[in-house]
Amino acid sequence: MAAYNAPLRDMRFVMNEFLDPTRLRALPGCEEITPDLVDPILEEANKLCSEVLFPLNRTGDEEGCHIENGVVRTPKGFPEAYKLYCDGGWGSLSADPEYGGQGLPRSVAMVFEEMMCSANLAFGMYPGLTHGAVAAISKHGTTEQKVTYLPKMVSGEWTGTMCLTEPQCGTDLGLITTRAVPVGDGTYRITGNKIFISAGEHDLSSNIIHLVLAKLPDAPKGTRGISLFLVPKFLPKEDGSPGQRNGAMCTALEHKMGIKASATCAMSFDDAVGWMVGEPHRGLAAMFTMMNEARLGVGIQGLGLAEVSYQNAVAYAKDRLQGRGIDGTKHPEKPADPIIVHPDVRRMLLTMRAQIEGCRALAMWTALEQDIAHRHPDPAVREAADDFVQLITPVVKAYLTDAGWDGTAAGMQVLGGHGYIREWGMEQYVRDARIAQIYEGTNGIQALDLVGRKMGAHAGRYLRRFFHPVLAYIEEKSEDAAMAEEFILPLSKAFGRLQSATAEVARRGLGDPFEAGAVATDYLRLFGLTALAFCWARMAEVALQQQDDPTGFYKAKLTTARFFMQRILPQTSALSAGIMAGGKTVKEFEEAAF
Catalytic residues: 440
DSSP sequence for 102-160: ----HHHHHHHHHHHHHHHHHHHHHHHHHHHHHHHHHHHS-HHHHHHHHHHHHHTSEEE
Break the chain down into helix, strand, coil percent, rounded to 5.
65, 10, 25
d(CA 376, CA 220) in angstroms, rounded, equals 38
d(CA 116, CA 93) in angstroms, rounded, equals 14
10 Å CB burial of residue 562 (0-12, 13-18, 19+) is middle
- What Å distances lie between residue 161 and 31, 133, 135, 200, CA to CA? 33, 7, 12, 6
- Tell me the residue type at 244: Q
d(CA 310, CA 312) in angstroms, rounded, equals 5
* CB contact at 8 A, 205 and 157: yes
d(CA 258, CA 265) in angstroms, rounded, equals 14
* CB contact at 8 A, 474 and 488: yes
Task: Give the residues across from 182 on adjacent strands.
Answer: 188
Q: Which helix (H) or strand (E) holds 236?
A: strand 234-236
For residue 322, the tally of other CB atoms under 10 A from its CB is 13
- What Å distances lie between residue 242 and 199, 205, 232, 235, 238, CA to CA? 18, 11, 9, 6, 9
Q: Is 6 in a helix, a strand, or coil?
A: coil
d(CA 66, CA 75) in angstroms, rounded, equals 8
- Pairing mode, if any, of strands 71-73 and 66-68? antiparallel
* CB contact at 8 A, 532 and 358: yes
Q: Is 259 in a helix, a strand, or coil?
A: coil
d(CA 225, CA 214) in angstroms, rounded, equals 9
d(CA 160, CA 134) in angstroms, rounded, equals 8
